[in-house]
Amino acid sequence: MILAGLGLGYYAYTHVSRPRRPGGEPPAVVAEAPLPSPPQSTAPPVVFNEEQFEKVRASTNDSDARVRWQAAKFLIDAHDPQAESIVVRMVQHDEDAGIRREAIGVLESRASPQVILVIVAALKDSETNVRLTALQALGRIGDSSTVPAISDSLRDVDEHVRLSALQTLTALQERRNSDLKRIEEDRQRYQQELAEHRKKVEAMRKKQS
C-alpha cells in the first residue's frame, strides 16, 4: 500500500502538478548562476619607503642622461610629490637637450600657471629643438596669456622656430574663433528657447483668461 501511494504521488507530480511545455515535456530545472568572486580588498604591500624614494631622487642628478630621465619617469609614475619640481629643474638646467624636451612634454599635461611660465622660459633655450618643443607644447595648452612670448619667437634666429611660432599663433587664433562660434551658437539657441518659452506662457495665459 505504501509503495502504491508513493507511485500515485509521483504520477500526480509528474503529470498533474508540474506545468508542461507545449510539446508535453515538463520544463527543465534551471540551475542558479554562481555568484561572481568578490574583488580584492587588501591593498598591495608598499614597495618603496621614503629612504628608497630619496635614492631615486638622487639618481636624477646622475652623470648619465638615460639614468637621470629614467629616475624622473619613475618618480612621475609613482606620483612622488617632488616629481614636478624635479622635472622643472630638468627643463631649466639639465645639460642634455633631449631631457629638456622630454621634461617639457611632461609639464605640458600639468599646465598650471607656474608650469606655463617654465615652458615660456624654454622659448629662450639655446637648442633649436627645445624651443620648437616649447612652442608646440604652448600651442596644445592653448593659454592666450602666452601669445606675447610666442610672438617674440617670430624674431628667432632659426627659421624653423619662426615658422613654428606662426603655426602656433594660427592654432591659438583658430581655437579662439571656434570658441567664439560656440558662444554665438549658444546665445542664439538660448534666444530661440526663450522666445518659445514666452510663446508657451502667453498661450497658457490666453487659455486661462
Domain membership of residue 208 (yes or no) is no
Residue 75 to residue 87: CA distance in whole angstroms: 10
Q: Provide the domain limits for residue 168.
A: 50-180
CATH number at residue 148: 1.25.10.10
Domain membership of residue 163 (yes or no) is yes
Domain membership of residue 116 (yes or no) is yes
Question: Based on the structure, what is the number of domains in the chain?
Answer: 1
Domain membership of residue 99 (yes or no) is yes
**144-192 pLDDT, tens digit each:** 999 999 999 999 999 999 999 999 999 999 887 777 778 878 888 888 8
Domain membership of residue 16 (yes or no) is no
Domain membership of residue 32 (yes or no) is no
pLDDT at residue 3 greater than cutoff 50: no
State the pLDDT confidence band at 134, using cuts at 50, 70 and 90: very high
State the pLDDT confidence band at 208, using cuts at 50, 70 and 90: confident
Contacts of 59 (CB under 8 A, 6+ apart): 67, 68, 70, 71
3-state secondary structure the chain: CHHHHHHHHHHHHHHHHCCCCCCCCCCCCCCCCCCCCCCCCCCCCCCCCHHHHHHHHHHCCCCCHHHHHHHHHHHHHCCCCCHHHHHHHHHHHCCCHHHHHHHHHHHHCCCCHHHHHHHHHHHHCCCHHHHHHHHHHHHHHCCHHHHHHHHHHHHCCCHHHHHHHHHHHHHHHHHHHHHHHHHHHHHHHHHHHHHHHHHHHHHHHHHHC
**90-131 pLDDT, tens digit each:** 999 999 999 999 999 999 998 789 999 999 999 999 999 999
| pTM for the structure as a whole | 0.68
Q: What is the mean pLDDT of the chain?
A: 85
Domain membership of residue 135 (yes or no) is yes
Domain membership of residue 98 (yes or no) is yes
State the pLDDT confidence band at 196, using cuts at 50, 70 and 90: confident
